[in-house]
Homo-oligomer: A and B are copies of this chain.
Amino acid sequence: MQDNPEFNTPDFNCPLPLHSTDHILMGHGGGGKLMQQLIEGLFLPSFNNPLLNQRHDSTVINLGDTRIAFTTDSYVIQPLFFPGGDIGSLAVNGTVNDLAMGGSRPSYLSVGLIIEEGFPIATLEKIIKSMQVAADNANVQIVTGDTKVIDRSHGDHHQGGLLINTAGIGIVEHSETITPRSIQIGDVILLNGDLGRHGMAIMALREGLNFDSPIVSDCAPLAEPILALLDQGIPIHCLRDLTRGGLASAAIELAEAANVEIELTDDAIPVHDTVRGACEILGLDPIYVANEGRFIAIVPPDTVEAALNILHQFFPQQACVIGHVRSKVPNFDRGYVTIRNTLGIKRILTQLSGDLLPRIC
């Protein structure tokens, strides 16, 4: 059974062409299959260059004797404030984390604000101050910026009214090649904490779900633990933060890029009871839900104990092993992810074709 997962899921191994639809759908921004079509069908062929083709959370560039990581992300979350953060802290931590996933030390951020006419200045002040607190916590400087104002939407005021883009530069101080192509058979998948809190904090707000204790986003900067792993000589093969599309989408992207099977162990994946309950109410699977403070590190098996010891200094009792890298079944044309339940039965995880949770990041 373990070697015979259910292969014939209808949309497995069958990416739709870019023009399967004439118009942009919410799912084109959702981190799943539609977004992959846009990237593979339009952006990569148009902007074709080796740096872009790295297809990592951040691009590594050699400049003289310095290596930098460079990345960008726009934040369109609604509502702007949520338990555990706001669009400002998210815009700092999200980009800091994309830099950290290249193993770089996040250093400099740009900020592009797009504000709807009529947005309250007091709210803007609150968000700007939150960005500065987040930047201080993550040890980055906001060094350049731009502000644009757009006209108020027709009719009633948009719930949001503020979009933020941040781009970031990190300094790469190590010599590891942290990329999906470095993943090897036998590697172990480590996770730093419980899943689904960011996405479900937003959904609970929107859907008016009340719990005894509210779900608090895990939004946090992740560079320090990763730099600690590297400083202490852990030869990290790959890193990925688990944002849009959650653990499942991140693992599928990596398995496909590395052409391997990533086997996850269902009951090793920590999910808080309240998050699991909220997911059940809304019919969602926590491994597809977005996080803003969670990542997987893929490391060689003989470094797992040392790596967990380091991660436990930052995430006590949370960091854990959740899976392994296996050879894929040979006649498959690309890598895939399986999840094994307590009975040892495995199923293949498929990419979301559309959008699980709109405007959560």
Contacts and interface: CB of A to CB of B under 8 A. Distances in A.
Interface of A: 18-19, 21-30, 35, 38-39, 42-43, 46-47, 49, 51-52, 58-59, 61, 63-66, 68, 70-76, 108, 110-122, 124-125, 128-129, 131-132, 135, 141-151, 153-156, 158, 163, 165, 167, 169, 171, 355, 358-359
Contacts of A151: 26, 358-359
Contacts of A51: 108, 141, 143-144
A163 B108 CA distance: 23
Contact of A145 (B21, B43, B66, B149): B43
5 contacts: A74-B113, A114-B163, A154-B155, A154-B156, A165-B165
A330 to B, nearest CB: 34
B26 A149 contact: yes
Contact of A112 (B35, B74, B125): B74
Contacts of A156: 154
Contact of A59 (B28, B58, B143, B165): B143
Contacts of A35: 147
Q: How many identical subunits does the complex contain?
A: 2
Contact of A24 (B65, B124, B132): B124
A36 B63 CA distance: 34
Given A23-B120, A117-B26, A42 B125 contact: yes
A28 B72 contact: no
Given A66-B66, A70-B143, 4 more contacts: A25-B149, A46-B128, A64-B65, A112-B112
A22 B118 CA distance: 8
A73 B120 CA distance: 22
A23 B61 contact: no
Contacts of A75: 148
A75 B128 CA distance: 21
Contacts of A108: 51, 59, 61, 70
Contacts of A49: 141-143
A24 B121 contact: yes
- Which residue of A18, A73, A158 has the most chain B CB atoms within 10 A of its CB atom? A73
A168 B164 CA distance: 16
Given A19-B121, A46-B129, A65-B64, A144 B71 contact: yes
A359 B150 contact: yes
A115 B71 CA distance: 19
A111 to B, nearest CB: 7
A72 B22 contact: no
A148 B150 CA distance: 17
B24 A149 contact: yes
B122 A22 contact: yes
A153 B153 contact: yes
Contacts of A141: 47, 49, 51-52
- Which residue of A51, A52, A68, A121 has the most chain B CB atoms within 10 A of its CB atom? A121
